[in-house]
Chain A
């Protein structure tokens, strides 16, 4: 069995060359310049705003309550730790959680005090917006921040579920897009951003959030003229055309 060894000097050099070729200033959507962060967040440097989607906090405890499956109860702190990393790095003036921030409406009640404190610390000194999702529509108290059904941000419209008749500039989540690349008998499946230059669907941010393949029919009506998926690799984000992506 043959195993390439990653991260040798050669491989790093080769990767660097490819990086030079493929580095773009950013993605433009409705006149706004967006940076796709490797953690799965979207960064608007002009407005110093960070958007993250589908945190699905307390998914583990939701399973324990509902179906008796005791998944490790550390998903909330894991998700918040990732969020902390990107917030510390970018120091946003505003953070938008694009819906399904909690796995269910009772998620906030089940949250451990330590995790609750972590949320409060993240919110300190910045604007924090919870956009309503389908899982957590009734989230209302005890978790700080403000609430909105949708949010207009520069030229962008932020909402949880993508809508077919939205004007250009919609940023949504909900679908948990994942892209799969199969090549020479190998397959790599990663979370991704999906965009056609008119709208953008965010990857899920939560530690236990699953993924829906972007070649699933659910994406067809949203991107009638095709799309590019930006897959979250180990070292950077990779832009991959629809034609190179496999179905499940």
Chain B
């Protein structure tokens, strides 16, 4: 490290950490590397040191130096924050390095100037990078690029955003062949996936890859040779590219070097035990509020994480209800007005808040303020998620982060215990590597045509050098290009309107400036659901119940789908208060404050809910199956499991328990796969279809993270008595065949998934917030498009893309398939004469949540009956 830098570290009373020096060595040797380190280890500085030292060492006379380093962050705010943090070392060492950010907020004159005279270091987001590489000047701009730093890589790669970024990275590797890529990541289970992500795939492997494990006390270095063919690579190779030349060398899957920082103080983590008996279901954790309030009183700043916006609203209300000390407690979630959120963040940074109740919106990002305790209400759902959240407290890696897990029901106590065990074992449940989505590729291909004319073979090689697309076949790539050109329809109706055209030279070019403009408007993979503003309405003086159309301030936004279901008079929780819905006015929902003591009538609105991770689910199953483990559980949970064992039985770790019993004139079937709510909902839909065909007359079902309950007019237990194989065939894996297809076609969730793919791939235009709401009769409904397309071209690219998403997304079909394989021959049936303790938990979900998209005629018939009553009454 140059002397200037050593002196600067010393002036701060710091010493460079071993991993920072390691990374510096690797990058200066021209190698790409992944740095895996816990929070507080100085990851970001490590990522920038190689660039700062290289730039500082340039001769001062060097002019028109060009862009040297690109930094990509998942959050705009994080990029801005890091630009600010870089100022100190650059100014204090007098390095004369120009650092700038480029986000959606950057004014256009500055954007233009950044292309003409780029800074040394540019900090930006994946979407902005996609726009940059689609720029006509891209090849000049990036020719000088020497280093790209990808921050929070673990969070980026698991989504379509990661697919888009991988394609942009592939383009950067082509534009600047000597490019080194640095990935910064929190601890992950499979660093190899991230290491591949950083490197161009399909080139000959480099034998000299290094793996270094660093303890914070002195560098303990481990050199390992990394195997070339990991499972994914093998899977991808099996779908190997089909090209004309037979003697193509085998596909290689090179990986970046790895630097791992072990250690950091173990977190000081506990399950909050209030001593009260917890209910068997429910997610509010109302019993715990006084204890949480007490914790707030004994800490400087507490982050209270919850899983849904509904829980956030509820917790915020409850804490204020008992807030006798008037502690400044704030609320932060994605539906709140942006200025309101910025205010909360600023107050937190200034140390003015004692507690912030928040959702995943604060999982990632800037270290605001001096948080000394994290409280996580509800089930942790995943070991990595809980680690990330715990890391938000006390951002120094040598001091332990302090956190409490607060279970809301007895099942969640099991889940909390499983999470405690996982954290202790430093085990992770990061999702598997993705197969690149075709809709994202379609967006990218159009962008590449905007940048310059492209040769399809060359672009194919480039695209397949991105890890998520390494297994893409030439035919699949051609289909995407065809889609971009004319929609990819068997009926060649749109040839004369083609967006990209192939010239006599064999190169594809964008049709005109309008198409390029359309691309720029559509870039990105985040498809927000349509939202409407919630505005506080004013009452009319002297006229109770009447409201003025011009209202008070905007409180935030709710999903249009949710607003659609409200009728005037409905009460719901929002922005920390109970509101009364008064009606819709243009694109705003008008609401008034409900009187004190009003209970919200509409239970929920669509919000993010994470399903229980596969990894944590397996740990919960293992806990239940092993009575020797129970003494680590709270007494009430152990007692509950004992009750279940005496009244029914407890399934083994790999078994599926199915219980049948009668209740109030109906028959019930419950099953406990522990595979998460999304997979269970899909399972419920498929099982009821099958039971209907088997004439068991199912009436409905309910699902939670642990199991499902189905109620029927006929007794499944009796049927099993006559037909012993009935359950095996009911749960047979072939339900994922025709039954699934038939249901998917009608599913509202599938339509939502299709809409997202259609927007990303540019089939329909994005709706922007604030854009005038045009009458519905002139906008195109994607539901109508979906119905027509699946009838006339069921193998269309976008339908395939939607099915690929359904496998892992809202429907979690992939996980369901794994479960069905796991339980083959391991289904244990227990016929009971009444409901068991285990079944009570899922029975309590019945009627708790709303229903989407099924049985429309029943709703219509009920509305019609009202008309008849009017007519007859």
Chain A residues within CB distance 8 Å of chain B:
1-11, 15, 18, 21-22, 60-61, 63-65, 67-75, 77-78, 110, 112, 175-176, 178, 180-190, 204, 207-213, 216, 228, 231, 233-236, 238-241, 243-248
Contacts and interface: CB of A to CB of B under 8 A. Distances in A.
For the complex of A and B, the 5 pairs showing the least CB-CB separation, nearest first, are A70-B487, A73-B493, A74-B792, A241-B867, A238-B860
Contacts of A236: 857
Contacts of B14: none
Contacts of B701: 2-3, 5
B564 A187 contact: yes
Contact of A210 (B781, B849, B860): B781
Contact of A190 (B775, B850, B860): B860
Interface in B544-587: 564-567, 583-584
A75 B491 CA distance: 12
B851 A182 contact: no
Contacts of A212: 775-777
Contacts of A1: 677, 681, 702-703, 845, 848-851
Contacts of B855: 4, 6, 11
A219 to B, nearest CB: 12
Contact of B785 (A9, A184, A208, A228): A208
B850 A210 contact: no
Nearest to A11: B858
Contact of B564 (A9, A69, A75, A182): A182
Given A9-B713, A204-B777, 18 more contacts: A1-B681, A2-B701, A5-B692, A5-B700, A6-B855, A8-B697, A8-B713, A61-B494, A63-B780, A68-B515, A69-B765, A70-B486, A183-B859, A186-B859, A208-B788, A213-B776, A238-B864, A245-B863
B788 A64 contact: no
Contact of B493 (A61, A175, A189, A243): A61
A152 B552 CA distance: 52
Contacts of B864: 18, 22, 238-240
Nearest to A79: B788
Nearest to A70: B487
Nearest to B796: A72
A4 B700 contact: yes
B777 A3 contact: no
B497 A68 contact: yes
Contacts of B868: 21-22
B684 interface: yes
A185 B603 contact: yes
Nearest to B849: A1
28 contacts: A1-B703, A2-B701, A3-B854, A5-B854, A6-B855, A18-B864, A61-B494, A64-B497, A68-B518, A69-B780, A71-B763, A71-B764, A72-B788, A74-B789, A112-B493, A182-B567, A183-B863, A185-B603, A185-B850, A186-B565, A187-B564, A189-B564, A208-B788, A210-B775, A210-B776, A213-B776, A216-B775, A241-B866
Contact of B867 (A60, A112, A244): A244
Contact of B793 (A6, A70, A74): A74
A181 B867 contact: no
Nearest to B854: A3
Nearest to B861: A18
Nearest to B572: A185
Contacts of A78: 788, 791-792
A70 B583 CA distance: 36
Max chain A CB contacts within 10 Å: which of B777, B848, B859, B867?
A: B777
Contacts of B867: 228, 239-241, 244
Interface in B767-806: 775-781, 784-785, 787-789, 791-793, 796
B789 A70 contact: no
A45 B211 CA distance: 82
B865 interface: yes
B113 interface: no
B854 A73 contact: no
B417 interface: no
Contacts of B713: 8-10
A15 B857 contact: yes
B645 to A, nearest CB: 29
A81 B47 CA distance: 61
B852 interface: yes
B496 to A, nearest CB: 8
Given A61-B493, A72-B487, A74-B792, A3 B851 contact: yes
A185 B858 CA distance: 14
Given A182-B564, A208-B788, A240 B776 contact: no
A112 to B, nearest CB: 7
Contact of B489 (A72, A187, A188, A238): A72
Contacts of B852: 186
A248 B775 CA distance: 10
B870 interface: yes
Contacts of A5: 688, 692, 698-701, 854
B514 interface: yes
A231 B647 CA distance: 51
A15 B861 contact: yes
B602 interface: yes
A10 B712 CA distance: 11
B459 interface: no
A64 B487 contact: yes
Given A63-B780, A69-B763, A69-B765, A186 B788 contact: no
B870 A241 contact: yes
A233 B865 contact: no
Contacts of A231: 860
A52 to B, nearest CB: 17
B856 interface: yes
A9 to B, nearest CB: 6
A183 B792 CA distance: 34
B847 interface: yes
Contact of A18 (B681, B697, B796, B865): B865
